[in-house]
Structure 1
């Protein structure tokens, strides 16, 4: 019974860590585009928005106790460099400011149109700081207090919307194949894989703190908690996509935040704005707490304690608060190129460790795969910022899936195989000698 209670607490905490502002805004907007292609889109979104982050947790669990153990399986310097880049991206530079900015624009501004984002940011990060300053309590506070409120509001919105839909799903703007592609790519853009390899350390530490010291027992609790979080995410994502498809909105002129408010008002009436404000605030706050804790823990360990955890948490909150007042759109516009670079690299690391980690112990194949992903990711960023000549871009579009920002898939596998062949060749040479 105690084990089940711990799994529920940790699973709810993990769900809340993943379920941030973008996760709430993306699915309804997908729904209005796919119309009656709901289920195929939910499946596609689940593959990249749920399965990949779960594999990220699994890759760290199979490698040790945190992201450093995962990185060390490839190269001793990789964990420090890649981990720092990830933490800067999902921490005070991009994701943390976005949580406060979204809380203001969707959760506060509709009800208080004359409010100032500075005061919202101060209050938001003051609460984040209070919850994050004692890291050992983060999982229990988030899992036992904040997440149940978040789930209640979202489940109420989805259940009422499903039982009493505003409109029937209309013919989608996209074909079935295009709906699948949209769901797949949008799930890819949630960026939860980046967070998963960092959050895994928090979840594993919480599991150990609850007395699960043996590796087999620890892994069972972490995997079961991850499965619970994945199930919650699947229900919420699927429900929100359905609400978008049945919102009675034609076209994509409406912004994501306006669409969410429109849906909540239609389903819950005058209480809709309040309900969605609470949902946004809780979703953003739980994610901000998890990210702030992760930033403080990671850089404190990276500097061997020379920079204290509490100092790092404080600086992270202050910097995020300053950047958050620039607004969601500006943050997203600024964030896209760096995230488009680091995301394929992390996905390659996660997938290849999960799929091949038990069978391929040598490092060269993984290094080769990561090199290929890095090169393709750099080319993709050059395409995004517009510094690739049109003639060159046409040539690169011949790389499978490059046009869909998935060009790293085939080259990384080819380079992985080349690495395996080189290893086998070396072994054969050594055996002959």
Structure 2
């Protein structure tokens, strides 16, 4: 690999890591470790599936389809995927993910040092920086990949390495079985929002790759895939390390402690007061890089679907204003609010991504993919109704007969049945057409 090519892969890979690694990615793993205890390794595997492997699959699904999420939509149904894309961009944008980055920066990076500060001022400065760097989308990837991410990674590696060498305590006790630990890690991975973000971030990385001169399909795909592998390796190391630190934090399962307080507790135990400073810097860089990338993604996506009627600049300004207003609610409130929409949209997005990657090169018909998405959507609706307590006992008893439904994974078998049924319908239609 030439030096320039290696340099480009490092820039793009680190940029992609930083785009994915935001507020939830730093806060969620330690609590999973506390809750799963000695079963932490099972939790690492399951959290890695939804937090690492599936986002990488999301990148691949776009690479195999074209240059952006819109090309992915053409493989299914452009109207269906346009609706899904809009819901996704709102979730990973001003509704949940971007406000969470600012709220987390305040709670972990600012509040420990300035107890009386109003979160409004912290969020104002945070979004002023976000807007200043996101307003020029061509510079987003280079700024994140060349400058911000290396600092973030060095700080995280120091914290995790020290915590592994000198664990604070023995593994916390857990009431969760191995199956329960797996389910906990898998479902909690939804909160990272990374599968949703991956199909949007792919377009940013692909555009940056083409801007660096890799315009033919082969070289473009190679650079994006290798960069994706670099980012997923970094993510898996960091997630695994943070889950382990939570499992050996000395915090008992069931203790009333917020995610932010747990992270501060762990860093302080490992590195003392320097640990608090280190985690504050980690949080600021992690959240800022993600906020910049997401704001840019929102502006680009909505600008394209409105055919340029709403300018990129206007959309990024509106995105930061809305995100600023929601950010002052606090991290736990935002995570609590985020869970229902994620329970609905995640199974649908995962179905789209997995089936395109597995079968997209061989099966060109839109019918199987569309039926698989419809089946996942039906199950997602039932999951949402269950979450809000709108299903009676008899209905729940029937739904629990669906494999994995009780673990929030009931969409797997129905989507497969829908896909196979779609293949059958497509064969029959093609046979009649050819007669």
Tell me the distance in 2 between the aligned counterparts of 1:331 and 1:272: 26
Give the match for residue 178 of structure 1.
180
Offset at 1:45? 1.6
Offset at 1:406? 1.1
Q: Is the contact between residue 173 and residue 252 of structure 2 (CA under 8 Å) also seen in structure 1?
A: no
Give the match for residue 401 of structure 2.
398
Give the match for residue 418 of structure 1.
421
Give the match for residue 392 of structure 2.
389
Residues 20-48 of structure 1 show CA distances to partners (whole Å, capped at 9, x for unaligned) of 11111111111122222232322222122
Note the aligned Cα RMSD (angstroms): 1.3
Q: Is the contact between residue 24 and residue 191 of structure 2 (CA under 8 Å) also seen in structure 1?
A: no
1:274 aligns with 2:291: no
After TM superposition, the structure 1 = structure 2 runs for residues 50-199 of structure 1, keeping only pairs within 5 Å, are: 50-170=52-172, 172-199=174-201
Name stretches of at least 5 consecutive residues in structure 2 with no aligned partner. none
Corresponding residue to 1:213 among 199, 212, 215: 215
- SS of 1:247's equivalent in the other structure is coil
Q: Is the contact between residue 35 and residue 170 of structure 1 (CA under 8 Å) also seen in structure 2?
A: yes
Greater Cα offset, 237-246 or 71-80: 71-80
Q: Is the contact between residue 13 and residue 227 of structure 2 (CA under 8 Å) also seen in structure 1?
A: yes
Corresponding residue to 1:200 among 193, 199, 202: 202
Q: Is the contact between residue 9 and residue 143 of structure 1 (CA under 8 Å) also seen in structure 2?
A: yes
- SS of 1:112's equivalent in the other structure is coil
- SS of 1:399's equivalent in the other structure is coil
1:6 aligns with 2:43: no
After TM superposition, the structure 1 = structure 2 runs for residues 342-421 of structure 1, keeping only pairs within 5 Å, are: 342-421=345-424
Q: Is the contact between residue 33 and residue 244 of structure 2 (CA under 8 Å) also seen in structure 1?
A: yes
Offset at 1:298? 0.5
Change (3 A) 1:140 1:292: same
Offset at 1:170? 4.9
Give the total of aligned pairs.
Answer: 432
Tell me the distance in 1 between the aligned counterparts of 2:171 and 2:347: 34
Name stretches of at least 5 consecutive residues in structure 1 with no aligned partner. none
Tell me the distance in 2 between the aligned counterparts of 1:250 and 1:22: 21
Residues 56-112 of structure 1 show CA distances to partners (whole Å, capped at 9, x for unaligned) of 000000000000000111012233221111111111111111111111122211211
Tell me the distance in 1 between the aligned counterparts of 2:173 and 2:99: 37
- SS of 1:37's equivalent in the other structure is helix
Tell me the distance in 2 between the aligned counterparts of 1:77 and 1:102: 35
Offset at 1:320? 0.6
